[in-house]
Amino acid sequence: MSINVENVNRVSIRPIKIVLDLSDPFGLELPLEDFIRIHKKIPEPPEYKIVGVEVVTCSEDSQPVLVTECGQCARFIRRFNGQIFCKKFLPIE
């Protein structure tokens, strides 16, 4: 006989700031830290735009996902204090 036990998983949100070069459509998108290290300057508008992206590692399949996608998952409970809380079922035999 197998029983599923419900557990709550906490996954930390990782914010990433990405720099977009608006003057060069073929330019590479770089994380802010890499942009500053390579170009030795702070990106400033109107030539550059900084976009914030939040990602987590899904507790179900260990794949990276956007935080906005978590709300569509049936296992999602809530977002709180920089973490995602979701249900995880553990089979017990």
pLDDT in tens, the chain (93 residues): 566 677 889 999 999 999 999 999 898 899 999 999 999 999 999 999 999 999 999 988 889 999 999 989 889 999 999 999 998 877 777
69, two tokens: 């996608």
Q: Write down the pLDDT at residue 69.
A: 93
Q: Write down the pLDDT at residue 2.
A: 62
Residue 32 DSSP SS3: helix
Which residue segment(s) compose the domain that 26 sits in?
Answer: 3-92
pTM exceeds 0.95 for this model: no
What one-letter code names the amino acid at 87? K
Provide the number of structural domains found in the chain: 1
